């Protein structure tokens, strides 16, 4: 507990201190409003309350490579190209593990019903994972030094793992000790001595269902060998012309099936292995000339028998003919004469047939097929003739359309999740299998510390998904499609082909009030959609407002008097039927060239229950140039206002009266309080362009178009480029010029949505490149140029040929007055409505709008709102942009208000009421507002409140209304803050920050004392920068891959309770007993023959393997045990054991070198003897 006391007295404080830029006050004159003499705040948070760790990962495993299933525990494991493992069971049982090496997972093998998993990775390392704990850990690792691992096989209830290599050899590993056996099946021993060619890598290993002592080895070249482990020789060898991809046994062990590269399936009988007794091309048709069509390889085949049918199931992937290009990947199910082809949306990575028994010598009785696709995970029901799929309980469709933004809300109203689920359930797909999900392993119980949590994801196709994230699970609640608000583009426009490649409805940001259920969406086409929630369907006319937010001072269109004073425009313009004219469009010439990016439906729209569109606000094209994308958004249901801004200015919309209150450039917001001296704009800079050389011609592209094109390619553009340049670009000379520079009305300024999922750009974090990377990052995020202002440095930017080559900045220092170029765009980076003191002499708080800009300026705009319900519906509101001005380093990111006791003041909101509910004449519908005014909790310390302002460089706490800076903290010097939020942790509040260099930090409030600073994500890319967000309860999330959401916690309390919240992967289950096959089958050799593998592969019989072949690496658990035993006699014994092992290793290496020398000597002796025999009978002159 930290207790501090800050003495505040405007009369005794030195004017230089208050008025200095460091404190951020606009003037040093003491305020007339009463100020508290002292503030006594009890800060409850300490560093011990914080610890950062990952909690759970949701979504589809990115770039999957391997699949495994435990038929007894009924859990599935998926390996990925980045070394990750996802283990899934019943809903709630979802675990993510990561190999430290990051090598791709080649193959997975469960130790069936043992609670362990073996992984084979691309770095030729085997790992043994312990699954009997909630957080799996590696017990042992075995690194192969000489050979590459290609295939692994672990027989059921065996502790010996067969490992095939690229050289064609087969090694055997003891699972318990993870040490190689001396028993090795060399490739030259497996094949015939007469064979002159290498058989290729091992692609298959399996023990015979009839005899455990027989091992079937499949080589890539088409050679199959059955090796007798007891006598160490081959029983038979099969040579086939086509390469082998997989082998599958019949459960009786008398025949097996192979799949080949020519799309054929061959059936082999052990009685006659000279040729296959059956060759089939399942998808190969015979042409008129009698020749078969060439087919694609069959990558895998499964041969399973069923008790209820005499016909087996033959299931395979691939094998389609080459004649039809563009055919989708397929899974084929052959059952008797029936052939069913299941087309998949994505390529098949792996599939497995789920059977009732784990024994390979019993009737398999398949009941489902697990299919792992590149971007999906499905399970097919084999017990029904139409083969339906099971409804997937996991959130595997997060990436159905690329994720472009995220929002995280913890501690939501308890009634919001059930109502969203009930509405979303009406639109669920049908046709699923009625049986229970077959992957039902593990146990999971609802934790004690659970509260409603909702995650919102915006997508490139304009859809928005609401997810229930309570209790570390994730379940789809409701899906909203914003594209339904707009008309579909007509093919007659000639743009159908172009639109197929574009994402005009991509969601850029969202703002949601869970209490009032007002939802606001910003799209990439510079449009804002306001939604209201209703439990009833409705027939609604969507109101559309158009405005121009270009901020071009040299436009030939001069604004009218009404536009120069938008706050006090004619009230008649505020009616929904007559929206006000957009600024800059008052003349016929201006209206002629102003067009919308998208066309809103003009007819009444039938809307189902849920979120229903009420208002659409669009920024217009001007002079053939698209509007700049929106960079900030906030909506307040109590005020009935919506505010948004971009790099040109700010707009405030009254969504109750459907009117525009404010639309002006950022420069005009200052009025006389502008802290900068704006330099006169050079006329040359208005016509800057970027030259692009092509073959035989030279085209000149304007810099804003170049930025858009760089957006498409996923590159960070140069920070010196001016996509928000106020001047008009110069049209290129030539017939192709207008087509390149003017994209045409109605066409959005992009080619592809800026998906957070596809951005993999590393951000530099050095001090010199910090500004550049921040600017480039914001260009990627918003498609605009933003510039931050350093209080001690002034940065001016100009696009010259030299700077375009060097990608450098020209910095000019000014110790007295900050001066910036007039055409530098000051973007609105953050907005927030709330109760505050708009001016220093205000005695009472009033509705205000906090505006943060990219130059580090925080503006406070007071708003006059009638309190009466009827007046609010009719009277025009007034906005006076003449409030306070506060200064910080870097772009403003976040605002928050605290009372003098240090508690967070929430923004006021309107209690939700259904807009489509039936009218009750006895109870007229009136708005019910919940207001959190700063004056409601000021009895102890008088009037005023604390304002928290955080930028990308520093955080400050101001006392309102005096605007005195109480506390200041420089968050980072070498990097910049990407995301900042004021959140609640352990019944208190703090400021949480995420920096571009990967650091996660928390600061106490209001003293801004550092509490935690952890280097969590050393390599930050644009995807994480776009999607990282904090929420209450010490939680956060980000998009860890294009298909996965990673949730983390920075609360020590949640870290301590995490084990309780996670599911158990392993459940004690008795292994099913093998079937008794009867006396007659046993008498005639029907029962499988057992083999004592310990007797064959143990050290006593097989000896020790070469130590240089593979290196044993103990896991973290083993290392911890070794360290714990470092003291006393046990430690001495452990050290002695290690010394003996090292000595034995050296002796082994010496023995190998000695054997090598003996072999070399024998070879030399042999060659000398041959030379002697050759020259024995020759005379000296014949030599």
The alpha carbon of residue 245 and the mean position of all alpha carbons in its chain are separated, in whole angstroms, by 34
The string of DSSP letters for 959-1004 reads EETTTEEEEEEE--SSS-EEEEEEEEETTEEEEEEEETTSEEEEEE
pLDDT of residue 758: 45
CA–CA distance, 704 with 707 (Å, rounded to integer): 5
From residue 114, alpha-carbon distances to 4, 132, 157, 159, 731 in Å are 57, 9, 9, 11, 72
In terms of Cβ atoms closer than 10 Å to its own Cβ (0-12, 13-18, 19+), residue 405 is: buried
The string of DSSP letters for 610-622 reads EEEEEEEEEEPBB
Query: pLDDT at residue 1021 above 90?
Result: no
Q: pTM here?
A: 0.79
Report the candidate in 450, 1004, 978 with the shortest Cα–Cα distance to residue 763: 978
pLDDT of residue 784: 43
User: SS3 of 574, please?
Assistant: helix
Q: Residue 1082 phi/psi, 5° resolution?
A: -70, -35
CA–CA distance, 521 with 509 (Å, rounded to integer): 6
Beta-carbon contacts of 1119 under 8 Å, excluding residues fewer than 6 positions away, are: none
First-to-last C-alpha distance (Å) of the chain: 100
Residue carrying the six token digits 């998906």: 755
Is residue 447 within 8 Å of 1061, Cβ to Cβ? yes
Quickly state the pLDDT bin for 732 (edges 50, 70, 90): very low
Higher pLDDT, 19 or 174: 174
User: SS3 of 301, please?
Assistant: strand
* Torsional class of 797: left (φ above 0), alpha (ψ -120 to 50), beta (otherwise): beta
Report the candidate in 1034, 60, 1029 with the shortest Cα–Cα distance to residue 458: 1029
Query: pLDDT at residue 267 above 60?
Result: yes
Q: Which two tokens stand for residue 77?
A: 């494991």
CA angle 705, 685, 631 (to 5 degrees): 50
pLDDT digits (tens, 9 = 90+) for 461-516: 999 999 999 888 899 999 999 999 999 876 545 444 444 447 889 999 999 999 99
Residue carrying the six token digits 């006392």: 959
CA–CA distance, 459 with 404 (Å, rounded to integer): 5
CA–CA distance, 441 with 1122 (Å, rounded to integer): 33
pLDDT of residue 634: 96
pLDDT digits (tens, 9 = 90+) for 218-233: 999 999 999 999 999 9
User: SS3 of 149, please?
Assistant: strand
CA–CA distance, 639 with 655 (Å, rounded to integer): 9
283-310: b (≥16 Cβ within 10 Å) or e: bbeeeeeeeeeebbbbbbbbbbbbeeee
Which range has the top average pLDDT, 307-311, 636-640, 766-770, 1098-1102?
A: 636-640
Which range has the top average pLDDT, 85-89, 585-589, 784-788, 906-910?
A: 85-89
pLDDT digits (tens, 9 = 90+) for 57-73: 999 999 999 999 999 99
Q: Which two tokens stand for residue 804?
A: 């375009």
Query: pLDDT at residue 937 above 60?
Result: no
From residue 1075, alpha-carbon distances to 250, 330, 702, 1091 in Å are 17, 35, 78, 18
Higher pLDDT, 593 or 42: 42
- Which ranges in 1028-1105 belong to alpha helices (H)? 1052-1061, 1079-1083, 1093-1097, 1099-1102
Residues of the chain above pLDDT 90, percent:
49
Calculated CA dihedral for residues 119, 120, 123, 124, nearest 10 degrees: 130
From residue 65, alpha-carbon distances to 90, 374, 894 in Å are 22, 8, 42
User: SS3 of 47, please?
Assistant: helix
Of the listed ranges 75-89, 669-683, 711-725, 1002-1016, the one predicted with least confidence: 711-725
Beta-carbon contacts of 682 under 8 Å, excluding residues fewer than 6 positions away, are: 823
Q: Which two tokens stand for residue 338?
A: 């029936």
Q: Roughly what angle, to the nearest 10 degrees, separates helices 703-713 and 767-782?
A: 90
pLDDT of residue 666: 87
Query: pLDDT at residue 716 above 60?
Result: no
Of the listed ranges 285-299, 324-338, 379-393, 613-627, the one predicted with least confidence: 285-299
């Amino acid at each position: 507990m930290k207790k501090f006391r800050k003495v505040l007295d405007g009369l005794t404080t030195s004017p230089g201190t208050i008025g200095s830029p460091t404190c951020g006050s606009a003037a040093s004159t003491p305020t007339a409003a009463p100020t508290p003499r002292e503030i006594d705040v009890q800060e409850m948070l300490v560093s011990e309350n914080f610890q950062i760790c990952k909690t759970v990962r949701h979504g589809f495993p990115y770039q999957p490579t391997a699949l495994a299933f435990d038929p007894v525990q009924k859990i599935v494991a998926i390996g990925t190209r980045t070394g990750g493992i996802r283990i899934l069971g019943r809903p709630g049982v979802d675990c993510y593990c990561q190999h430290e090496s990051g090598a791709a997972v080649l193959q997975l093998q469960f130790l069936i019903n043992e609670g362990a998993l073996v992984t084979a990775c691309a770095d030729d390392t085997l790992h043994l994972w312990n699954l009997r704990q909630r957080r799996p850990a590696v017990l042992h690792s075995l690194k192969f030094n000489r050979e590459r691992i290609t295939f692994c096989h672990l027989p059921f209830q065996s502790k010996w793992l067969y490992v095939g290599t690229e050289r064609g050899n087969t090694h055997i590993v003891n699972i318990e000790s993870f040490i190689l056996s001396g028993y090795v099946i060399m490739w030259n021993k497996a094949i015939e001595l007469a064979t002159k060619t290498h058989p290729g890598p091992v692609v298959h290993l399996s023990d015979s269902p009839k005899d455990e002592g027989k091992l079937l080895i499949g080589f890539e070249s088409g050679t199959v060998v059955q090796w007798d482990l007891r006598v160490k020789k081959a029983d038979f060898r099969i040579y086939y012309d086509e390469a082998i991809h997989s082998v599958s046994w019949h459960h009786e062990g008398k025949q097996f099936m192979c799949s080949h590269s020519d799309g054929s399936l061959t059936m082999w009988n052990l009685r006659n292995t000279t040729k296959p007794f059956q060759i089939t091309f399942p998808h190969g048709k015979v042409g008129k000339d009698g020749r078969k069509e060439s087919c694609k390889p069959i990558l895998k085949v499964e041969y399973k028998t069923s008790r209820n049918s005499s016909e087996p199931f033959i299931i395979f992937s691939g094998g389609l003919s080459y004649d039809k290009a563009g055919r989708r990947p397929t899974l084929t199910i052959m059952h008797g004469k029936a052939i069913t082809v299941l087309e998949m949306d994505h390529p098949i990575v792996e599939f497995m047939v789920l059977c009732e028994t784990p024994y390979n010598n019993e009737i398999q009785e398949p009941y489902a097929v697990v299919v792992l696709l590149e971007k999906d995970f499905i399970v097919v029901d084999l017990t029904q003739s139409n083969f339906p799929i099971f409804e997937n309980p996991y959130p595997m469709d997060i990436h159905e359309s690329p994720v472009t933004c995220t929002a995280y809300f913890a501690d939501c109203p308890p009634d919001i999740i059930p109502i969203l689920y009930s509405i979303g359930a009406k639109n669920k797909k049908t046709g699923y299998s009625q049986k229970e999900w077959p992957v039902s392993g593990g146990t999971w119980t609802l934790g004690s510390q659970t509260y409603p949590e909702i995650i919102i994801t915006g997508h490139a196709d304009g859809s928005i998904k609401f997810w229930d994230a309570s209790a570390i699970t994730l379940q789809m609640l409701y899906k909203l499609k914003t594209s339904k608000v707009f008309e579909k583009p007509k093919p007659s426009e000639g743009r159908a082909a172009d639109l197929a490649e574009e994402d005009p409805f991509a969601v850029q940001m969202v703002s949601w009030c869970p209490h009032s259920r007002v939802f606001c969406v910003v799209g990439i086409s510079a449009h804002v959609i306001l939604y209201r929630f209703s439990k009833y369907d409705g027939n609604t006319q969507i109101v559309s407002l158009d405005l121009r937010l270009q901020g071009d001072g040299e436009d030939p269109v001069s604004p009218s008097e009404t536009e120069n004073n938008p706050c006090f425009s004619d009230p008649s313009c505020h009616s929904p039927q007559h929206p006000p004219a957009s600024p800059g469009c008052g003349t016929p010439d201006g209206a002629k060239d102003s067009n919308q990016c998208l066309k809103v439906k003009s007819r009444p729209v039938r809307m189902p229950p849920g979120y229903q569109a009420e208002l659409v606000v669009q920024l217009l094209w001007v002079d053939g140039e698209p509007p700049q994308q929106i960079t900030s958004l906030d909506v307040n249901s109590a005020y009935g206002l919506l505010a948004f801004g971009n790099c040109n200015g700010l707009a405030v919309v009254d969504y109750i009266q459907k009117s525009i209150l404010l639309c002006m450039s950022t420069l005009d917001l200052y009025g006389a309080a502008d802290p900068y001296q704006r330099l006169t704009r050079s006329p040359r800079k208005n016509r800057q362009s970027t030259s692009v050389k092509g073959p035989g011609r030279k085209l000149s592209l304007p810099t804003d178009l170049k930025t858009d094109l760089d957006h498409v390619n996923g590159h960070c553009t140069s920070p010196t480029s001016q996509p928000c340049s106020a001047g008009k670009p110069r049209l290129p000379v030539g017939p192709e010029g207008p087509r390149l520079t003017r994209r045409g009305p109605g066409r959005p300024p992009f080619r592809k949505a800026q998906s957070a999922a596809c951005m993999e750009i590393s951000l530099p974090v050095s001090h010199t490149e910090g500004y550049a990377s921040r600017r480039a990052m914001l260009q990627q995020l918003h498609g605009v140029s933003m510039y931050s202002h350093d209080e001690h440095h002034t940065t001016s930017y100009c696009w010259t040929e030299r700077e375009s080559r060097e990608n450098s900045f020209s910095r000019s220092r000014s110790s007295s007055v900050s001066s910036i170029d007039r055409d530098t765009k000051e973007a609105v980076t953050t907005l927030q409505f709330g109760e505050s003191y708009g001016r220093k002499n205000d005695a009472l708080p009033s509705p205000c709008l906090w505006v943060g800009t990219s130059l580090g300026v925080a503006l406070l705009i007071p708003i006059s709102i009638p309190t009466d319900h009827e007046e609010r519906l009719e009277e025009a509101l007034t906005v006076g942009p003449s409030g306070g001005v506060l200064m910080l380093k870097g772009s403003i990111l976040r605002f928050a208000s605290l009372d003098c006791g240090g508690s967070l003041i929430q923004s006021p909101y309107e209690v939700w009421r259904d807009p489509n509910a039936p009218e009750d004449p006895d109870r007229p519908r009136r708005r019910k507002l919940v207001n959190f005014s700063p004056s409601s909790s000021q009895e102890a310390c008088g009037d005023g409140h604390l304002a928290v302002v955080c930028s990308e460089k520093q955080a400050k706490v101001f006392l309102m209304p005096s605007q005195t800076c109480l506390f200041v903290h420089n968050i980072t010097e070498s990097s910049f803050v990407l995301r900042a939020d004021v959140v609640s942790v352990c019944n208190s509040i703090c400021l949480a920050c995420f920096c571009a260099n990967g650091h996660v930090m928390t600061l106490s409030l209001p003293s801004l004392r550092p509490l935690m600073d952890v280097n969590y994500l050393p390599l930050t890319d644009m995807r994480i920068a776009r999607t990282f967000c904090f929420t209450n309860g010490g939680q956060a999330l980000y998009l860890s891959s294009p298909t996965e959401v990673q949730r983390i916690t920075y609360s020590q309390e949640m870290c301590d309770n995490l084990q309780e919240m996670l599911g158990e992967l392993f459940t004690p289950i008795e292994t099913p007993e093998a079937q008794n096959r009867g006396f007659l089958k046993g008498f005639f050799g029907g029962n499988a023959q057992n083999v004592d593998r310990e007797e064959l592969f143990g050290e006593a019989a097989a000896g020790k393997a070469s130590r240089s072949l593979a290196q044993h690496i103990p896991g973290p658990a083993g290392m911890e045990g070794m360290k714990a035993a470092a003291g006393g006699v046990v430690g001495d014994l452990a050290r002695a054991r290690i010394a003996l092992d090292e000595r034995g290793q050296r002796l082994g290496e010496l023995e190998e070198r000695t054997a090598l020398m003996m072999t070399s000597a024998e070879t030399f002796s042999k060659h000398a003897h041959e030379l002697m025999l050759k020259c024995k009978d020759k005379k000296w002159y014949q030599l």
